[in-house]
Amino acid sequence: MRKPTQTNAQSNASISSLIRGTRCKRTAQEVMAARVRYWLPEAQEFNINRMIRRYAYIAKHLPAFIATAVLKSITNCRCTSSRFHDGGSPCRVCGEDGKDDLRHYINCNAIRSILHTILPKLEAQWGDDISNIEGFMLMGRMRRVEQLLGIAIAHDLVLCTINTLRTRGQAANLLQTEQLMRARARQQAVRDIRARKVFQQLAN
């Protein structure tokens, strides 16, 4: 994959613009490094810097609503029952008990299957243990830029779909989940031509 040309300083500035006003006294790099190590305690500095550069590339080449979805995932800001220390809710997609948890959603086979149906050319896997967590955190190997942007689009598809299912209070239903994800993909395409181009590259 062609490497993003931004320096670490430029990448940090891009991320800082998204967390401005939060009263956080740490630098953007320190915040992101801490969140990476929440997922991958043994993550090396090189991989953390790679993730920061890739995130800055996403923020530059895709609309803010998609970049924000990625940031919410990386920093574990999704509204799940496990995050609020209430582990009793089932997965919103496959229905497994006690799995309304972002760690589960990363590896949920049902989500992976739906994403593969919608984005069949997305090489990065949404599943498969540690290798998938690295891909989810933008640190895995990616041969082409559209694969990186595709992972960002997948973050938004999953985030919005799960939020919709939670708001409606509906039981898990794979067909309905796929319909919601496809509807969100259409919204992405309508709202931004850059997202539409990436989607077309990975869907056709």
Residue 146: which residues within 8 A CB-CB, separation 6 or more?
198, 201, 202
Residue 162 domain flag: yes
Q: Which residue has the higher pLDDT, 47 or 126?
A: 47
Per the structure, the complete domain to which residue 36 belongs is given by: 8-203
Mean of the pLDDT values across residues 135-145?
A: 79
C-alpha span between 72 and 159 (Å, rounded):
9
Residue 3 domain flag: no
Q: With CA atoms as reference, report the closest residue to 8 among 40, 55, 60.
A: 55
1-55 pLDDT per residue, tens: 555 555 555 555 555 555 444 555 667 778 778 888 888 887 778 778 888 889 9
Residue 2 domain flag: no
Q: Quote the pTM value.
A: 0.80
